[in-house]
Chains A and B, each alone.
Chain A
Amino acid sequence: MDENSSARLKRRLLGVVYRIGLFLAMLTICLPGLWIVISSLRPAVEIMAKPPVWIPQEISFDAYVAMFSGIGKGGIPVIEYFRNSLIISVTSTVIAVAIGMAGGYAFARYRFRGKSSVFLSLMLTRTVPGIALSLPLFFLYVRLGIIDTHFGLILAYVALNVPFTIWLIDGFFRQVPKDLAEAAQIDGCTRWQAFWQVEFPLAGPGIASAAIFAFLTCWNEFALASQLTRSVSAKTLPVGLLDYTAEFTIDWRGMCALAVVMIIPALTLTYVVQKHLVGGLTSGAVKG
């Protein structure tokens, strides 16, 4: 075998090894999700079986039917929880992104006293685990009378997300050359118009990704929500999962079914938005 054909063979073998490696990695990532979907469709006996049953013997949508059947028939107020989750997540995302845009723009474009220390302290807030704040927040909210309200949770989530959105959006505004806003001002724009006509569209993909992250954080958050909400009027979907636990039993199938219901909107949103996250949109703006 000459050198060339052995090199070719080696390249092909390496290609196969890469693919197997990728498959294993993807499997590890996807298996828990897949397991939840499967578990939501099969009887509890199979879920608890040891050794695990890999291929379900029978498939049924009973858990999904039961979920929507109303209280007393194994149902939970899933529509209410969904509505709460949606209101809280969307509102807090919109607010966090608006603040993040203003903050990120300021950090990217302006020089001011104490800039780096302000930025650092914003980032430091991320080091505090949310659960550590839940008890102080609980007492505070009780005193303020905003416990178990949409407003209370929105407030907590905005505070949670703002440092992150500022940090992310700052990075994206930095990538938009300063010259473009100046060119727009010379072309007749006010500072405000230059921002909306030129800088915002270019940082758009970055802002969208910040929004996705913020939304998913709110949508999936459990620790704070479980402390700060208790009634159907404010509980979010992750907290709703607890409805499947009784004193002595846990309805794993129902829990998995609700988890699937939770995942679907998040997955759809991410899928829809990520198509618009076109990288390298600023290429061609400056230099050659």
Chain B
Amino acid sequence: MATVTLTKLTKRYGNIGIVHGIDLDIADREFIALVGPSGCGKSTTLRMIAGLEEISAGSIEIGGRVVNDLPPRSRNISMVFQSYALYPHMTVRENLGFSLKIAGAAKEDMDRRVAEASAILGLDTLLDRRPSQLSGGQRQRVAMGRAIVRDPDVFLFDEPLSNLDAKLRTQMRTEIKKLHAKVQSTVIYVTHDQVEAMTLADRIVIMRDGHIEQVGTPDEVFRQPATRFVAGFIGSPPMNLHEATIDDGQMVFASGEKLPLPAQFKTNVATGDKVVFGLRPDDIYPTGHGISSGGAADVHQIELPITVTEPLGNETLVFVEFNGTDWVSRMLNPRPLRPGERVAMSLDMSQAHLFATETGKTLRS
């Protein structure tokens, strides 16, 4: 069990910067997800923590000990790779016990710990098989088992579920969560899938181009995105974002359409300011079919034409045309709607977000 502290952590390949001096404090037993699009530096950061990648500047502390130049084996970490990286010439038992064998553990101790890990992950019946005889989900479990056996200070996961099909991914996600509850270790989990990050993590670190955009609990990054990027990245379907200019308490969009300025931003902007207006699909809905129907504080009504509907059973995603593009809205208790039909939409402006166009930063005070 250990804390992890990254200070001004930097990675450069020649002149090309990959990670630009990030700072992060991870508490003991915390589950942290590093999330971001491809090439944002999240995997590189994880590999630097693992010791598989040299750091160009800054420092990494694990459990209060600076590990900058220590080899991976001296950091007491374990890692689950995206590719699983099971040793194909060894059985599941040998795979699980490999780290103990290298450490020179006694036979009984090794057997006991392998048995414990395989019991946790339900691998008992597979111990004598080789990786090639296992399914994707089983391989994934062996990879996790190999990590558990070491009883490390920190677990590192590098997109562990991205090779699994959708159903298995959901199942393994739950298993990882249960596993964390059982072993109570610090976990750093890299993923490009924001749903994984939201469901698993205590805190989410959103990265972009080698910088940290925001660190916060799933609720914080969802409800109070610090930047336009975070707003667009977290949430599914993504937040609707439109550029507008402030004009006398109103937002004027490129198409000439206007919306009233959300009350909570009135003092933060002035006429002439360029802003990005954001509203989640949950906060736009055909009137009477929303999450916050009736109880919302600041609802604006507008009539908009429907372009497409996507029924999902208990709800329907309704695409309406606004400002020349499609707005996604979420309709609860759906009723049949036809494309082309104009419907009264409710916009819950109390949930709206505004970002400065230039910096992308939130204008929330």
Contacts and interface: CB of A to CB of B under 8 A. Distances in A.
Interface of A: 177, 179-180, 182-190, 193, 197-198, 201-202, 281-288
B198 interface: no
B77 A186 contact: yes
A30 to B, nearest CB: 35
Contact of B146 (A187, A189, A283): A187
In this complex, which of A186, A282, A284 has the most chain B Cβ atoms within 10 angstroms of its Cβ? A186
Contact of A180 (B73, B87, B139, B163): B87
A199 to B, nearest CB: 10
B136 A188 contact: no
A202 B73 CA distance: 22
5 contacts: A183-B79, A186-B73, A188-B150, A284-B133, A286-B81
A207 to B, nearest CB: 14
Contact of B84 (A197, A281, A283, A286): A286
B218 interface: no
3 interchain residue pairs of minimum CB distance:
A284-B132, A288-B136, A286-B83
B78 interface: yes
Nearest to B131: A284
A185 B85 contact: no
Contacts of B99: 187-188
Contact of A189 (B50, B73, B130, B133): B73
A184 B83 CA distance: 14
B81 A283 contact: no
Given A182-B50, A186-B78, 8 more contacts: A177-B83, A182-B85, A186-B50, A187-B98, A284-B88, A284-B130, A285-B83, A285-B131
Nearest to A282: B88
A185 B52 contact: yes
B88 A281 contact: yes
Nearest to A202: B89
A137 B244 CA distance: 82
Nearest to B165: A288
Interface of B: 50-52, 71-73, 77-79, 81, 83-89, 98-99, 102-103, 130-136, 139, 146, 150, 163-164
Contacts of B50: 182, 186
Given A185-B72, A189-B102, A288 B88 contact: no
Nearest to B162: A287
Nearest to B80: A183
B110 to A, nearest CB: 13
A185 B53 CA distance: 12
A182 B72 CA distance: 9
A288 B135 contact: yes
Contacts of A185: 51-52, 71-73
Nearest to B53: A182
Contacts of A180: 85, 87
Tell which of B77, B83, B163 has the most Cβ of chain A within 10 Å: B83
A189 B102 CA distance: 7
A283 B146 CA distance: 19
B102 A286 contact: no
A287 B159 CA distance: 12
Nearest to B75: A186
B114 to A, nearest CB: 13
Contacts of B83: 177, 179, 285-287
Contacts of A179: 81, 83, 85
Given A183-B79, A186-B79, A284-B131, A198 B87 contact: yes
A180 B141 CA distance: 16
A288 B73 contact: no
B81 A287 contact: no
Contacts of A282: 88
A287 B98 contact: no
Contact of B88 (A184, A188, A193, A285): A285
Given A193-B102, A201-B89, A288 B72 contact: no
A179 to B, nearest CB: 4
Contacts of B87: 180, 183-184, 198, 285
Nearest to A193: B102
- Which of A183, A185, A281, A288 has most chain B Cβ within 10 Å? A183
